[in-house]
A and B are shown apart, each in its own frame.
Chain A
Amino acid sequence: MSLILAENIQKDYQTGDICIKALKNINFEIKPSSFVSFVGPSGSGKTTLLNLIGCLDKPTSGKLNVAGTDVVSLNRKQSALFRGKTIGFIFQDFNLIPILTVYENIEYPLLMVEVIPPDDRKKRVNELLEAVGMVEQKGKYPDQISGGQKQRVAVARALVTNPKLVLADEPTANLDHKTAYMVIGLMKKMRDEFKTTFIFSTHDQKIVGEVDVLYTLEDGELKSVEVKRGGKKNA
């Protein structure tokens, strides 16, 4: 059973009279609990593909099934609900909400996306605070913590709703070497602990070295698939 199944995915952008083919006939399958990365140079289509998987955008043509749902047919509201329940996001710039504390940032999806009893909510947030090692900073605001700590909070926020899938767009791009390794380690630990699938778009060799399956994109085409450990080649 695949978590993600993409068939003949194509994405075109129209700029005036010019049609840019961002993705050309992409096919792949990703299994649950995988640690997967899409790599490639800038403009190769990594982020576009992640946006399609994350239901933030729709393909021009092709079929895309995520966690048993045909995401191409979802409307705006259904997409939002689907993202809230099924997908966690980790951004390159962390994108924490500056007016909320570390605790409140992690709690946010449980308040705004899901309806969970306060006691369960508290338990879940504290569990994740502990898992990412941010218990002592839980009362601090994003501007009072370091970049690495911010990304740990972002990881916790992405996992708080128990999503099947976490999408991370260049998650280590703004982190130093040591912190990047620490964040990657944390995400692997989370994958092992919560059985969540992590998909990255990156050209960071630190991540590349750690993933199970490595997809290489070039000019919108899937050039190669490298199964490093535990994954299944299916492109």
Chain B
Amino acid sequence: MRNLFKIAVRNLMRYKRRTSLTVSLISIGVVFVLVFISVSGSFKNMMIGQITDSLVGHIQVHRKGYLAAIENMPLDLNLKFSEFKQLENTLSKQSEIEAYSPRIKLGGMLSNFVATSNISLIAVYPDMEFKTLPLLPSKIINGAKKFNRGEIIIPELLATGMNVKVGDVVVVVATNNDGSVNGKQFKVAGIVERLFGPSGRNGYMHIEDAAELLRMEEIEVNEVAIRLKNFDMLNPMNQKLEKLLSEELSPQGKQLFEVHTWEKLTPFSTIARMIDVMTFFIKLMLTAIVLISIMNVMIMAVYERIREIGTIAAIGTLPGKILSMFIIEGLCLGVAGVAIGNIMGMLIIFIINSLRFTFNFGMVTGLLLSAKIHPADLLSISITVIIVSIIASLEPAFKASKMEPIKALRHI
């Protein structure tokens, strides 16, 4: 085998310029893929991080049917206190879960006695919410990074529009499940920045204040946001929770809970999927580059060495060894291209990170581009290129091995 490699490398070195050009082409392809994956991956991870760590969490649990009506924030699909405790009992036993936060999402009217506007509110236990959404405190741009009972965090959009400042007193009016309207006075504790542009109207209040405002006899929740210790366990954990919670039934014998990952809860998952699709096509282009360039070189190599093939076949080299010789040549081209491409790609990623590029996402500006390539991606790209190199060499190698020595020796 060592001799086959020696012969393959020497044959490649015979046409230095052609070999260099082919290896360069493969290397450039690998570099493009690595840089694209690392940069787009950085953007995607940043985007997912912003959404999951400051808005929705990794997974959410609702009463079955709630998600279909989530835009209306219905209160008749709340989980009763006992049902929430039932859920909490399951969640607290899962070692993969880092934190969870029960929420009441409600719509209401906000008034500062001068102007009135509608507002979406998320009522939470602040400590639990901040553990589940660790980026949320950083989104509170004015005022304290925490809030207590009797306090409210209002969105930047309303604060600007209604000229409300931290420390002002406001009134929130909401309709409860029975249809009666209730109001409660709050002190503005902070202003939360808009994450996704002008539509951001989410404010925060204490869950016990919400229960009082909605005249609940005991606390009900309509959403439980969950944070996992390891984000990579998202899908397995989602499946595990789905299985566990599917066994929890309502008194009517119907399934009580529904479980969703962040992807089902925000349209930004489409962007993440688009990035995945683009990455797939970039990889496909790399495959085509490797396939065509190596096949071209190997076809030329076979054509130029027909007499040589005839000679080695005549002196007794078995067809299998001739096949191996040419496949190893293609393999060497692929390995060289991958090795150089990986080194250059890592170098370029290092330079990109050193230059500290920033980008904007929604209303969030100055996010640092942190290009990273996962070892699994590096490995999968390398293996793909190497396998494609072998595939590209197969046809010319088969042709060489099937060549009749007598015809090959006559070739001019």
Partner of A56, one of B307, B317, B406: B406
Among B11, B308, B318, contact of A77 (Cβ-Cβ < 8 Å): B318
Please name the residue on chain B nearest to A99 by beta carbon. B10
A83, A85, A88, A157 pick with most chain B CB within 10 angstroms:
A83
Q: Which of B301-338 contact A (CB under 8 A)?
A: 307-308, 310-319, 321
- Closest CB in chain B relative to A112 CB, distance in Å: 5
A112–B312 touching, CB < 8 Å:
yes
Residue interface bits A80-121, CB-to-B below 8 A is 1, else 0: 111111011101000101111000000011011100000000
CA distance A83 to B321 in the complex (A): 15
Instruction: Give the contacts of B395-412 with A (CB-CB under 8 A).
Output: 404-406, 409
State the 8 A-B residue pairs at the shortest beta-carbon distance, nearest first: A84-B316, A99-B10, A113-B316, A95-B311, A56-B406, A83-B316, A112-B317, A111-B3
Provide a sorted-by-A list of 24 A–B residue pairs whose CB atoms are within 8 angstroms: A57-B406, A76-B319, A77-B318, A80-B313, A80-B316, A80-B319, A81-B318, A83-B315, A84-B316, A84-B318, A85-B316, A89-B314, A91-B311, A91-B409, A95-B308, A95-B409, A98-B14, A98-B308, A99-B7, A99-B13, A108-B315, A112-B321, A113-B316, A113-B317
Q: In the bound complex, how far is the Cα of B313 from the Cα of A82, in angstroms?
A: 12
Interface residues of B (CB under 8 A from A): 3, 7, 10-11, 13-14, 307-308, 310-319, 321, 404-406, 409
9 further contact pairs, Cβ within 8 A, besides A56-B405, A80-B319, A95-B307: A83-B315, A89-B315, A91-B311, A99-B13, A99-B14, A111-B3, A112-B312, A113-B317, A158-B315
Report A-chain residues with C-beta under 8 Å of the C-beta of B310: 95
Q: CA of A54 to CA of B409 in the docked complex: distance in angstroms?
A: 13
Report Cα–Cα, A202/B188, bound state, in Å: 109
Residue pair B316, A109 in contact (C-beta under 8 Å)? yes
- Cβ contact within 8 Å between A56 and B316: no
Q: Are A100 and B10 in contact (CB under 8 A)?
A: yes
Q: Which residues of A contact B316 (CB under 8 A)?
A: 80-85, 87, 109, 112-113, 161
Task: Given the known inter-chain contacts A56-B405, A91-B311, A112-B312, please indicate yes or no for A84 contacting B11, CB distance below 8 A.
Answer: no
Q: Are B308 and A97 in contact (CB under 8 A)?
A: yes
Please tell me if A137 contacts chain B, counting CB pairs below 8 Å. Answer: no
